[in-house]
RNA sequence: CGGGGCGUAGUAUACCGGUAGUACGUCUGCUUUGGGAGCAGAUAGACCGAGUUCGAUUCUCGGCGCCCCGACCA
């Protein structure tokens, strides 16, 4: 894409009233637009990043048998009354609205009720199970206080997968698969080395749930981490019994702050019983379906990546989620730059081409802020040397490469 | 939801009971061109409403909005 066509611009100044690093950088770089507190629009570059994150998640969900669906944001009151989650005293972050005729509706903050209800039309026999279904959809939560930029908003994207099993064994097996899929997601998003499976409150059907906590000073959670064992315990549940369960001692635990980037949860029959989602076993006897839920927020993940890798000059995207792989910068050598751009496009290399008539300094500064992994400069200097200058954003390494070396590098050969 | 702070241009700010000034930014033109360059010109602002007043951006009240701490976060 030619940058002269891109409607967003980079800014030197931070917006006022924006403290979190992720929002400040994403707004300055033109990835997002803040509509109001806790509500952000994604602009072209931001949407490219968000899509890449969602696609990584999709691939991992599909790989463990997930089937993608898309449920509605509008939710019917009566369904939520069945599970006793309609009343504001039970769930305080509802956004509620009304039909013209006065009927109350809610804007979904999660979808256990909705999907359980859908499944009553599709599950009758043990032969129908298991089913694993997920969606990537907008959630609405009436947070008392929005904060942390795009990481804790009132409207945000969420991938939620729900598992439906006939037996506890199947749930347990799938749960472990989902856990591994989440590990893969964080690995692929570049956060693998700093994201830890964390034991958290399990609710009424299992002792623990598992959170995926990404270490960050911007985090709202406090966890106790054993780096050696690679696991952590959320502060909320830390006690002697838990330590004994997990064979951990206080001495080996380090208190760190972290961002909750994912959460997987065994639901048991918490929703299937009140909504009457049952299957018949071999003998024709009915049983409630055993469920699990598995959530991860693409927007929060994006914010976490920014928080994790940015430096004083701007964002640093891991290649897997970067809006473009290459930022091609023309310094008064339009003809040669155009040619290189055409070649990259032909080879399918994702490239943002800064073809604008700006000063070199502005282009470099903007490029650092955008955080695209490889910056390729074409200038009089590079043309006379017969080489291209490639700067690696994450470590500042500068390489002088011939054209064939350049393409070999960018195509990962 | 409890507590605190704050609303003057995109940003940072100044003055003032007599209708707003500066800097940076932005835009246009020219000159520049390897780290946000120079010159010239231009653009753009009192959150909203009510009250007090001859007159309110300024004082009072109400609303709306934003930020921070805490609580909350199946």
A374-379/A326-331 β-pairing:
parallel
SS3 category, A142: coil
Contact, A334 CB vs strand B, < 7 Å: no
User: Do residues A262 and A295 lie in contact, with contact meaning Cβ atoms separated by under 8 Å?
Assistant: yes
**Is residue A8 scored above 70 in pLDDT?**
yes
**Rounded to 5 degrees, what are φ and ψ at A388?**
-105, 150
pLDDT in tens, A154-185: 999 999 999 999 999 999 999 999 999 999 99
pLDDT in the model for residue A174: 98
Backbone φ and ψ of A356, nearest 5°: -80, 160
3-state secondary structure of A166: coil
Mean pLDDT along residues A250-263: 94
Complex prediction ipTM: 0.91
Q: Is the CB of A368 under 7 A from strand B?
A: yes
The pLDDT value recorded for residue A340 is: 97
Q: What angle do CA A53, A56, A62 make, to 5 degrees?
A: 140
Cα A209 to Cα A207: distance, rounded to the nearest angstrom = 7
Q: Does residue A360 reach within 7 angstroms of strand B, measured from its CB? A: yes
CA atom of A9 to C1′ atom of B26, Å:
11
Cβ of A321: how many Cβ atoms within 10 Å?
Answer: 23
Which nucleotide is the nearest neighbour of A29, by CA and C1'? B36
Q: Is the CB of A377 under 7 A from strand B?
A: yes
* Weakest-pLDDT range from A17-21, A25-29, A36-40, A253-257: A17-21
Task: Report yes or no: A351 and A325 within 8 Å, Cβ to Cβ.
Answer: yes
Which nucleotide's C1' is closest to A222 (Cα)? B73
The secondary structure element, H or E, covering residue A233 is strand A231-234
Task: Choose among A398, A394, A389: nearest CA to A371.
Answer: A394
Q: How confident is the model over A202-248, as pLDDT tens digits? A: 877 788 999 999 999 999 999 999 999 999 999 999 999 999 999 99
Domain ranges of chain A: 3-309, 326-410
The pair phi, psi for residue A201, each rounded to 5°, is: -55, 135
Give the per-residue pLDDT at A14. 82
Runs of H (alpha helix) within A232-314: 240-245, 272-275, 298-309
Residue A413 has pLDDT above 70, yes or no: no
Beta-carbon neighbour count of residue A216 at 10 Å?
A: 23
pLDDT in tens, A106-149: 999 999 999 999 999 999 999 999 999 999 999 999 998 998 99
What's the CA gap between A218 and A23, in Å, rounded?
12
- Which CATH homologous superfamily contains domain A326-410? Anticodon-binding domain (3.40.50.800)
Mean local confidence (pLDDT), A349-368:
94
Q: Is A72 left (phi over 0), alpha (psi -120 to 50) or beta?
A: beta
- Give me the CA A154–C1' B59 separation in Å, rounded: 38
pLDDT above 70 for A358? yes
**Cα-based distances in Å from A181 to A188, A234, A254:** 10, 21, 26
Mean pLDDT of chain A: 95
**Across all strands, nucleotide nearest A365 (CA–C1'):** B36
Q: Is the pTM of this model over 0.90?
A: yes
Output the pLDDT for position A205.
Answer: 77
Q: CA–C1' span, A146 to B66, in Å? A: 11
State phi, psi for A121 to the nearest 5 degrees. Answer: -85, -10
Domains A3-309 and A326-410 share a fold: no
The pLDDT of residue A202 is: 86
Tokens of A126: 């043990």
Strand B bases with any atom < 7 A from protein Cβ: 1-2, 10-12, 25-27, 32-37, 65-74
A409/A83 Cα distance (integer angstroms): 55
Q: Which of residues 50-89 of A touch strand B (CB under 7 A)?
A: none
Q: CATH classification of A3-309, choosing from 3.30.930.10, 1.10.10.1100, 3.10.20.30, 3.90.550.10? A: 3.30.930.10
- Whose structure tokens read 């009553």? A120
CA of A375 to C1' of B31 (A): 28
Closest residue by C-alpha to C1' distance, nucleotide B32? A359
Q: Beta carbon of A145 within 7 Å of strand B?
A: yes
Confirm whether any atom of chain B, the nucleic acid strand, is less than 7 Å from CB of A212: no
Q: Are A263 and A200 in contact (CB under 8 A)?
A: yes
A135 strand B contact, CB < 7 Å: no
pLDDT at A203: 75
What is the pLDDT averaged over residues A326-342? 95
What are the residues facing A392 on neighbouring strands? A374
Closest nucleotide to A294: CA versus each C1': B74
Side-chain-side CA neighbours of A341 within 13 Å: the count stands at 21
Distance, in Å, from the CA atom of A168 to the CA atom of A249, rounded to the nearest integer, reads 30
CA–CA gap between residue A239 and residue A229 (Å, rounded): 18
| Coil, helix or strand at residue A385 | helix
How many beta carbons lie within 10 A of that of residue A295, not counting itself? 22
């Amino acid at each position: 894409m030619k940058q002269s066509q891109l409607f967003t611009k980079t800014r030197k100044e931070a917006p006022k009233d924006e403290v979190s690093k992720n929002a400040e950088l994403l707004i300055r770089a033109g990835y997002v637009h803040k509509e109001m507190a806790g509500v952000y629009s994604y602009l072209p570059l931001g949407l490219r990043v968000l899509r890449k994150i969602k696609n990584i998640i999709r691939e991992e969900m599909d790989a463990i048998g997930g089937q993608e669906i898309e449920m509605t944001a509008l939710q019917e009151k009566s369904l939520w009354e069945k599970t006793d989650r309609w009343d504001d005293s039970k769930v305080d972050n509802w956004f509620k609205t009304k039909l013209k005729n006065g009927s109350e509706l809610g804007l979904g903050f999660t979808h256990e009720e909705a999907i359980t209800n859908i499944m009553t039309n599709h599950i009758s026999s043990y032969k129908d199970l298991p089913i694993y279904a997920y969606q990537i959809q907008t959630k609405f939560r009436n947070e008392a206080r929005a904060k942390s930029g795009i990481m804790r908003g009132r409207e945000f994207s969420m991938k939620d997968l729900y598992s439906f099993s006939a037996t506890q064994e199947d749930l347990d097996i799938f749960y472990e698969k989902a856990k591994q899929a989440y590990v893969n997601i964080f690995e692929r998003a570049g956060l693998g080395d700093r994201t830890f499976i964390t034991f958290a409150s399990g609710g009424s059907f299992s002792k623990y749930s598992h959170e995926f906590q990404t270490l960050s000073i911007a985090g709202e959670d406090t966890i106790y981490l054993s780096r050696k064992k690679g696991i952590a315990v959320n502060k909320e549940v830390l006690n002697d019994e838990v330590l004994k369960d997990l064979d951990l001692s206080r001495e080996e635990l380090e208190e760190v702050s972290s961002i909750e980037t994912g959460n997987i949860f065994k639901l048991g029959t918490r929703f299937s019983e009140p909504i009457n989602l049952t299957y018949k076993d071999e003998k024709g006897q009915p049983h409630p379906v055993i469920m699990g839920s598995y959530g991860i927020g693409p927007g929060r993940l994006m914010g976490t990546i920014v928080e994790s890798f940015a430096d004083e000059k701007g964002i640093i995207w891991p290649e897997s989620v970067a809006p473009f792989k290459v930022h091609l910068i023309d310094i008064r050598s339009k003809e040669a730059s155009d040619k290189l751009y055409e070649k990259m496009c032909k080879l399918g290399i994702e490239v943002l081409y800064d073809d604008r008539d700006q000063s070199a300094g502005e282009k470099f500064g903007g490029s650092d802020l955008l955080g695209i992994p490889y910056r390729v400069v074409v200038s009089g200097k590079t043309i006379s040397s017969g080489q291209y200058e490639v700067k690696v954003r994450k470590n500042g390494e500068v390489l002088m490469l011939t054209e064939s070396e350049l393409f070999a590098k960018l195509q990962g050969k």
